[in-house]
Amino acid sequence: MSDALRTFKASIFHALSHPTRIAIVEELREGELSAGAIVHRLKLEQANASQHFAVLRAKNIVTARKDGNQVFYAVRDPLLIEVLDVMRRYFHAHVQEALAMLKEIDESEGERPSIE
Amino acid sequence: MSDALRTFKASIFHALSHPTRIAIVEELREGELSAGAIVHRLKLEQANASQHFAVLRAKNIVTARKDGNQVFYAVRDPLLIEVLDVMRRYFHAHVQEALAMLKEIDESEGERPSIE
DNA sequence: GTGGTATATTCGAATGTTAGAATATACTGA
DNA sequence: TCAGTATATTCTAACATTCGAATATACCAC
């Protein structure tokens, strides 16, 4: 496999390597939503959300459909949802250590982990 | 889904979001290899490779088995290979734009892209 | 036109990631 | 023990990413 191809793959993973962007893609699992709806559901800062949308757009992970005042986002390819599904199975297969990892993250942030 | 779980998923993606680490995991697709073998096959700097191994170990993406002088790495869970397989399909479904992305990367690096 | 709403972009400071050099550790064989 | 090999860690400078604040753009209703 060429290094350029690996760079492409890595760039897709990179686009998904932020909790907020994962959350956005998961929100879009059932279909398109307006930017505002996502901001509201995930309680994000508008500017910050828009930055994350830009990352997802740049990698063609989502499509943006403009309708009047609003922009509706959708996951472009269901394969990516499939990737997230496999990740979910991966998570369930390793709950124990996932919990440990969450706890570590937790302890440095002062919040309690909760599973799904 | 809890924010902590998203953080967990994001951290796995993050571990895979570097071309060298993708390359390492793909090398381990068929089974375990020594650190040295991977360094040799991928023509990596020893120290740099070791740093990437550390990232993959920290996320439990690979296991490390020490045998005498050497350390043998293996992908711990085939589910991750499955993730890479879905990504491969994703890639094939979007060769066109992948090519465009590779070309862009290419133009800023002075190399020609080649597909798999 | 003006005012209001929805979204995007730019900027800056804090933080995180990277590669490679140097160094450290661990094991083996003589 | 010592020399050699395999791997890991630490350090540092360059670079990228993140957030929130401020600002800009686009659209709609009046």
Dump the DSSP string for B85-113.
HHHHHHHHHTHHHHHHHHHHHHHTTT---
Cβ pair A93:B79 closer than 8 A: yes
pLDDT at B3 over 70: yes
- Rounded to the nearest integer, the mean pLDDT of chain B is 85
Cα distance from A69 to chain B (closest Cα, Å)? 29
pLDDT surpasses 60 at B43: yes
What secondary structure letter does DSSP report for A61? Answer: S
pLDDT at B114 over 70: no
Extract long-range pairs of B51-60: CB within 8 Å, 24+ residues apart: B52/B18, B52/B20, B52/B21, B52/B24, B53/B24, B55/B15, B55/B18, B55/B21, B56/B15, B56/B21, B56/B24, B56/B25, B58/B15, B59/A101, B59/B11, B59/B12, B59/B15, B60/A94, B60/A97
User: What integer best gives the mean pLDDT of chain A?
Assistant: 86
Q: Rounded mean pLDDT of B39-62?
A: 96
The predicted model gives A65-71 an average pLDDT of 96
Take residue B16 and report the two structure tokens written for it: 């895979």
Set of chain B residues whose Cβ sits within 8 Å of the Cβ of A79: 86, 89-90, 93
Name the least confident of A51-60, A84-93, B2-11.
Answer: B2-11
**Residue bearing tokens 């760079």:** A7
Write the CB contacts of A108 (distance below 8 Å, at least 6 apart in sequence): none
Residue A8 confidence (pLDDT): 86
Whether pTM > 0.75 for this model: the answer is yes
